[in-house]
Amino acid sequence: MGNNIDRRQFLTFVAGGAAAGLIPFSGCKSELAGPIANKTQRPNIIFILADDLGYGDLGCYGQKHIKTPNIDRIAAEGIRFTQHYAGSTVCAPSRCVLMTGLHTGHTAVRGNREIKPEGQYPIAAETITVAKVLKRAGYITAVVGKWGLGGPGSSGVPNKQGFDHWFGYLCQRKAHSYYPEYLWKNGKKVILEKNKAGKKGTYSHDLFTAEALDFIRQNRNRRFFLYLPYTIPHARYEIPSTEPYSDRPWAKKEKVHAAMITRMDRDIGRIMNLLKKLNIDEKTIVFFSSDNGAAQRWEGRFDSSGLLRGRKRDMYEGGIRTPLVVRWPGKIKPTAESDHVSAFWDFLPTCAELAGVSAPEDIDGISMVPTLLGRDDRQKRHKFLYWEFFHWKKGFYLAVRMGDFKVVRLSPTGPLELYNLKTDIAEKNNIAAKHPEIVAEIEAYLKTARTDSPHWPVKPPKNGK
């Protein structure tokens, strides 16, 4: 995407390194030419990821019942994106997209596949990740929370993927409990004594916040990248206290769901306050998003998908459109809002430009730095956004967005449903029959949109459906 280093060259560089440890940013002119020229101005980067948080779960996206003042403040002091998309409609492939800059037609992980006894399908050792890109730019890197891209001893563990420090769950299924008997830290098990034999003494989310705060304190004088994929509000619905919702006339799960989100918001506030206390606030860009749509819509209570159709595991907007707020004092204008159409695969090239280095050429992402800095007139655009999802029961789904139009296909050979998101954000009116020329253009694109993967074969539909 405008850079002059191909994947083979980049892999060679990562393996062998260069004396300076930096790859100069080249290709299209950087929007950060000044700060990049002065290497001390390259920002720390924090990416906070919620788990199964819906597009409508935050106050800054219209939520009326769940309190999220700190995330709302990030939006108020930075930029809020209204048309940002997750990498997938479920956890593992979405995180793979975020880390690699490749959409699910090209990623190694395209569904939630378990690898016994613990973990999911691993990404390969040679995978280019955001952490590897930033590590070569001189950043110290950490991931704290839920990984899901390779189990113990596999090629996919974080310490083999560019992260200097790692703490959390390797396996997504293990992360279904907020009171696990152990977590992983840099290749070793950390036994949580208070959670043995089914006890609930140590809430894992609280450990993640403490670890993140410690990492920031320890590296305040270094340039760092912190990836913080929290597990909240993914089920199971567990929390030490349902304050401040205990007295609401709601079902228990509703109270817990709301309290989990507010607890996460509280801890994000602690992180933002620490940045200010350490006087690195203006040196740090903070991203907040969610890995896919809401697992439950909670219709009539929270309406977690808002006006959007569907939820997690759907290719409709409720499954893949996600909140994104970004704050960088002095660089991103407060109260900014953008309808720029973007996705998780844009994160890697965005980080590369922020760090003043090149991203690999053959990725699917486009740097969002121009939009972040209020130079939308210089922002490159995607002609197409593409998603595919391998569901272990229902088979192969796909979706494509082209401008305001979006198609959804619910089987490998099924018809394309077509929606105009500008006039029909809820995807109620399938207009494919009225616009055969648009359907034909997207059909033509689909012939080149993906590469086959032996690990994710497209199976023929049953009974011809």
Shared-domain flag, residues 432 and 343: no
The first and second tokens of residue 418, run together, are: 């077509």
C-alpha dist (Å) from residue 411 to 69, 292, 454 = 41, 20, 18
Of 19-23, 82-86, 236-240, 312-316, least confident by mean pLDDT is 19-23
Shared-domain flag, residues 287 and 398: no
* C-alpha closest to that of 148 among 230, 46, 215, 213: 230
Domain count, the chain: 2
Mark 262-271 as b/e (b = at least 16 C-beta within 10 Å).
Answer: bbbbebbbeb
- State pLDDT tens for residues 2-53: 333 344 444 444 443 333 333 333 333 455 544 343 455 799 999 999 999 9
Residue 12, C-beta contacts closer than 8 angstroms, at least 6 positions apart: none
Give yes or no for a contact between 85 and 317, defined as CB atoms under 8 angstroms apart.
no
Q: What letter does residue 219 receive in the DSSP assignment?
A: T
CB atoms closer than 10 angstroms to residue 8: 10
Give yes or no for a contact between 34 and 274, defined as CB atoms under 8 angstroms apart.
no
Shared-domain flag, residues 338 and 400: no
Domain membership flag for residue 410: yes
Q: Is the pLDDT of residue 146 over 50?
A: yes
* C-alpha closest to that of 436 among 451, 421, 415, 450: 415
Q: Is the pLDDT of residue 416 over 70?
A: yes
The first and second tokens of residue 186, run together, are: 């840099």
Give yes or no for a contact between 141 and 133, defined as CB atoms under 8 angstroms apart.
no
Q: Is residue 136 classed exposed, middle or buried when 0-12, 13-18 and 19+ CB atoms within 10 A define those classes?
A: buried
Of 15-29, 274-288, 432-446, 450-464, least confident by mean pLDDT is 15-29
User: Which pLDDT value is given to residue 30?
Assistant: 56
Shared-domain flag, residues 362 and 389: no
- State pLDDT tens for residues 60-76: 999 999 999 999 999 99
Give the domain extent around 436: 385-464
CATH of the domain at 11: 3.40.720.10
Q: Which of 344, 361, 378 is the last residue of a domain?
A: 378
Shared-domain flag, residues 120 and 191: yes
Q: Using DSSP, state whether 283 is helix, strand or coil.
A: helix
